Amino acid sequence: MKNPKLNFVMIENKPLIYFAHPVGSYGTKLEQEIILFLEKDWTVINPNRPEIQILCGKNMANYCRIINDFAQAVVGLSYGDGKWGAGVYLELLAGSNKGIPLFQVEVSDRGLKLKNLNSKKIVPLSIENTVGRNYCEKWNFKFLG
């Protein structure tokens, strides 16, 4: 059942995409650039928005419910070495279970690129390893300036 306190609507008829990304990338220049990149073709649902965090708290099931209720696709951001955080994996899995398209945003010094993603090929880090990486990962790329 949809949460009546939360609603997402397409902007300029652009479909809704949920941006699954590590907590350690929240508030970074990379997060801002990825959102701008996605907004060219999508209306972005960003779990880093305060109203989403207040309603969802730390319960991953609440974030997955947003995907189930609203998202038309999910895009994930892995760590720089291509490994996937546990929470991002669960969000991608929610999209896969719903049967909507999944994408990975590839980040390199040249810029950003979207590619199709198969959730069956993702091996997530453990929760402990994810937490350990979230705040020591470097999110610096040459294209960011």
Average pLDDT, the chain: 86
Strand 43-45 to strand 16-20: parallel, antiparallel, or no bridges (unpaired)? parallel
What span, in angstroms and rounded, lies between the C-alpha atoms of 12 and 34?
Answer: 19
pTM metric for this prediction: 0.88
What confidence score (pLDDT) does residue 1 get?
A: 40
pLDDT tops 70 at residue 2: no
pLDDT per residue over 22-61, tens digit each? 988 999 999 999 999 999 999 999 999 888 888 888 888 8
Range 76-91 average pLDDT = 92
Q: Which CATH number fits domain 16-136: 2.60.40, 3.30.420, 1.25.40, 3.40.50?
A: 3.40.50
Range 73-94 average pLDDT = 93
Place of tokens 């993702």: 122
Range 54-72 average pLDDT = 87
What span, in angstroms and rounded, lies between the C-alpha atoms of 131 and 139?
Answer: 16
pLDDT band at 62 (very low <50, low <70, confident <90, very high): confident
pLDDT per residue over 10-23, tens digit each? 677 899 999 999 98
Type of residue numbered 20: A
N-to-C CA span, the chain: 43
pLDDT band at 7 (very low <50, low <70, confident <90, very high): low
DSSP line for 11-67: BTTBPEEEEE--GGGTTSHHHHHHHHHHTTT-EEE-TTSHHHHHHHTT-HHHHHHHH
